[in-house]
Each structure stands twice: as structure tokens, then as C-alpha cells.
Amino acid sequence: MGKITIQVEVPDEYAETFRKEVEEIARFLRNKKRLMENMKKLEGILKTDKTWKELKEEYYEAHVGRYLRSG
């Protein structure tokens, strides 16, 4: 696994929050394959009227989409 360093300028009061947000996105992306495999194992177990595609979109939106919109 590679390691990267990103340097950005943010106001001092947001520096720690920004670092935590970026680390959370990185953690999600690092584990995305495993998470999707686990979701496929659960397919059909959950009783819902939503399609599998809708559930995946909601999951993605909850974990990554909010960061993309806030940028």
C-alpha cells in the first residue's frame, strides 16, 4: 500500500477537523472492496422495498457523498 502526503492551507481552527475528515475518507476507500463484498453477502437478507442499487447509493452517499458536496 502506498503512502502519500498532501499539504493544504486551511484556517487554524479547521485544521484538525479537516485532517480527521480526510482520514475518514481514506479509511473508507481503503476498505471499500471488503465492505462491498460484505454487502453482497447480505443481499436478499434485508427486508426492504428499496432496490439493491438504491441501498448502495445511500451507503455511498452517507460515507463519501457528504464530503464531495461540502467541498
Q: pLDDT per position in the chain (71 positions), as tens?
A: 788 888 889 999 999 999 898 888 888 888 888 888 887 887 777 677 888 788 888 887 787 766 666 65
* Global pTM value: 0.50
Residue 3 domain-assigned?
no
Residue 50 belongs to domain spanning: 13-70
- Count of structural domains, the chain: 1
Residue in 61, 66, 20, 2 with CA at minimum distance from that of residue 10 = 20
Residue 30 domain-assigned?
yes
Residue 8 domain-assigned?
no
